Chain A
Amino acid sequence: MKRLIKNATLVDARGNHGKADVLIGEGRILSLSGGDADEAIEADGLMLAPGFFDPHAHLREPGQEVKEDLESGLKAAAKGGYTGVVAMPNTTPPIDTPEAVQALYKRARAIPGARLYVSAALTQGQEGARLTEAGLLKAAGAVLLTDDGHTNEDGGLLALGLRYAASYGLPVAVHAENAGLRRNGVMNEGPVSERLGLPGNPAVAETARIARDLEILRYVQQALEPTGHTPRLHVQHLSTARGLELIRAAKADGLPVTTEVTPHHLTLTDAVLEGMDPIYKVAPPLRTQADVEALIQGLEDGTIDGIGTDHAPHTLAEKEQDLLRAPFGIPNLEVAFPLLFTELVLKRGLKLEVLIARFTDGPRRALGLEPIHLEEGAPADLVLFAPNAERPVDPAHFVSKAKFSPWSGWKLAGWPVATLVEGQVVWRAEA
């Protein structure tokens, strides 16, 4: 079956390519100049981009399906314009065996939604003691190794993990937080936490860990040089200006490091905790305006490779506990793009193709995947979005099981209208 997307304005990481009629079939883009099709999608006034790719989402399966499962998660992703999502392995039990990876892929095949990419634990049980079977995990389809959700402190183990994973071409992602410095912090340490009397998580908890991990990466890179392998370190959910500086310097030095930033760290500060609503409780915590400004700068200049949602769904009841007990996390797959399109492109003048690049090419490259551009032969993993139609965020309508949002009521434009994976419509807005 062939589909024709008519009169769409094409935009990808390379820029805006004007209006075209895009013919797709056999899972690929067949032509950018129209052609005979079985079905036409009128896209006048809409923009067509490569599908978004999220290197960091918590889909909670197995074990915490009450918060989210593969079906609700992959559908929420599709609704948010994503065609690919990397599921984090800190499930119950953690994804640390090839069998667990295969089981997830098997389940996902039956779900019409975004394409699943499975990351696996770096250490068995995510306990920070023994490495997982990188080779077998890779063979089972794992795209990344990480103990996200845990701040494993053993630097020697990270060195071994980077070294071993490199030999199988797998990147290692780190939740960069020094547990000792974070202690029991529940929000950014600063004047707001001190006024509220809440245990603070200082910026140095992140920066000290990044500095250490970058030194370990440098050491492993040198050690691996004779073998021809390159270790790849991906720093997850960067939140501090100083952390960004460290990564910028490391990249300038040629270290193979990539990083991501979340939609919430780009749009909210710790000041929102003044209202003492645990909805805003995330790890790493929301920081200061100066950090937000630096992260936006880093996103613009490419120091930050991409947007990782850190989509972290919880039940409303869990989030209605107090600030000490409520779990960390915000669900955001369904709002990430319109949020940043509105706040960064429309309001702050960030170039659209830069934002698109951070939603598509950057995160794909960070994981060693090929970028997708709008050209003949490319996979038809696509999103159509409406740049001009504005509507408020309403978490009651989330496909995700987590029906709450820090941006509830924010008026946003850029909402996805249709998402296609391999040319198949996996989500489409009701007209």
Chain B
Amino acid sequence: MGALKHLLDFTGWEASQVEDLFETAKLMQEVLERPVKKVPALQGFTVATVFFEPSTRTKISFELAARRMSADVVSFSPGGSSLKKGESYKDTLLTLEAMKVDAYVIRTDAAGVPYQATRWVKGVVINAGDGRRAHPTQALLDAFTLTEALGGLEGKKIAIVGDILHSRVARSDAELFSLLGAEVWAAGPATLLPQTLPGARLTTSLKEALSDADAVIALRLQRERMEAGILPSIPEYVAGYQITPERLAWAKPQAPLLHPGPMNRDVEVDGRLADSENSLVTRQVANGVAVRMAVLYHLLVGRNR
């Protein structure tokens, strides 16, 4: 397999590369089970988390991943305000570049910024979520978690439910799961569906998406959608698309339920399910660190080999 220079999305990826990465993630899981959860793999490397859009969970997950491999971590979180003051993405990244950063973990509300960043900096760029476009490490940790639960994704039916249109998770999940041989269904209210979603079939029927599904992923619903008039109300959404125990029964028995978090309890998912044994939500969070360790390792060490 050709070495990857950056992780922006899954364009050009092959299934074998994902499998390699998962092998490394398994090793990292072992590291995380040890009393001293630290290895020297990235000693001497500096990783910058550059979060133009706030996201505590993803940021902590990346920073832990880097630290557990002994990388130096710096973080930059203008939260948009310094950009308003006139500093640009480019200036921010060039400043970090001047300080000899090796990897940039970039999160923005704007599609394409990590992609633009590869034109500006020499270091490795990892997309930690760009606008609605892609969130590749979330998809990797989802796929890794599902692989653990289901033994693999080949031939499995996976339903993604909710606001598909505005979801970078849905885009990256569909891209990656289909690459790994899964049949992906994306279900949601008509105004929250795109016209096409590469790798997935689209439906407004929750039942069609969930029937005989091997796993279900519920997406976070942003309340701004109501204000924007894209969705009439929360109760309307709950009536049509909330994952309840009754609806989950349409899927295969013991079908796992995932959610990228943070969850609006009793909106996307019935509270009874959120803490049930179907829920792999905390497993996703734990795996997130291992998968991000594997990503950093492959991009930083794999690159120098």
Contact = CB atoms under 8 A, between A and B. Distances in A.
Interface string B159-177: 0000000101001000000
Interface in A307-324: 317, 320-324
A322 B108 contact: yes
A322 B113 contact: yes
Given A191-B196, A197-B168, A317-B88, A277 B116 contact: yes
A39 interface: no
Nearest to B112: A276
Contacts of A198: 111-112, 131-133
Contacts of B89: 320-322
Contacts of A194: 194-197
A389 to B, nearest CB: 32
Contacts of A195: 171, 196, 198
B42 interface: no
Contact of B110 (A190, A191, A323): A323
B116 A276 contact: yes
A160 interface: no
B134 interface: yes
Contacts of B110: 322-325
Given A197-B131, A197-B168, A197-B171, A322 B111 contact: yes
B57 interface: no
Contacts of A278: 112
A196 B111 contact: yes
Mostly, the A contact residues are: loop
A198 B198 CA distance: 15
Interface in B123-149: 131-134
Nearest to B195: A194
Contact of B133 (A190, A196, A277, A317): A196
Contacts of A191: 195-196
Contact of A276 (B83, B115, B197): B115
A276 B168 CA distance: 16
Nearest to A320: B90
B212 interface: no
Contacts of B108: 322
Interface string B187-209: 00000001111100000000000
A197 B132 CA distance: 5
B109 interface: yes
A317 B87 CA distance: 10
A136 B194 CA distance: 50
A321 B132 contact: no
B112 A322 contact: yes
Contacts of B109: 324
Interface string A250-276: 000000000000000000000000011
Contacts of A323: 110-112, 131
A271 to B, nearest CB: 14
Contact of B111 (A190, A317, A324): A324
**Centre residue among A198, A322, A324, A325 by max chain B CB count within 10 A:** A322
Contacts of A277: 116
B192 to A, nearest CB: 13
Contacts of A324: 109-111, 131
Contacts of B134: 197
A317 B92 CA distance: 13
Nearest to A323: B112
Nearest to B133: A197
B112 A196 contact: yes
B100 to A, nearest CB: 23
A320 B88 contact: yes
Contacts of B111: 196-198, 276, 322-324
B77 to A, nearest CB: 17
B290 to A, nearest CB: 27
Contacts of B194: 194
Interface string A290-321: 00000000000000000000000000010011
A306 B236 CA distance: 50
Contacts of B195: 190-191, 194
B169 to A, nearest CB: 11
A116 B66 CA distance: 59
A113 B134 CA distance: 47
Interface string A189-206: 011001111100000000
**Centre residue among A197, A277, A323, A324 by max chain B CB count within 10 A:** A197
A76 to B, nearest CB: 25
Contacts of B166: 197
A197 B171 CA distance: 8
Contacts of B171: 195, 197
A136 to B, nearest CB: 39
Interface in A321-376: 321-325
Contacts of A197: 111, 131-134, 166, 168, 171
Nearest to B167: A197
A323 B110 CA distance: 7
A198 B168 CA distance: 10
Contacts of B113: 322
Nearest to A193: B194
18 contacts: A190-B195, A194-B196, A195-B198, A196-B112, A196-B133, A197-B132, A197-B133, A197-B134, A197-B166, A198-B133, A275-B115, A276-B116, A321-B89, A322-B89, A322-B112, A323-B111, A324-B110, A324-B111
Given A197-B133, A276-B115, 19 more contacts: A191-B195, A194-B197, A195-B171, A195-B198, A197-B134, A197-B168, A198-B133, A275-B115, A276-B116, A277-B116, A278-B112, A317-B88, A322-B112, A322-B131, A323-B110, A323-B112, A323-B131, A324-B109, A325-B83
Closest 8 CB pairs of A and B: A197-B132, A276-B112, A322-B110, A197-B133, A194-B194, A324-B110, A276-B115, A322-B113
Interface of A: 190-191, 194-198, 275-278, 317, 320-325
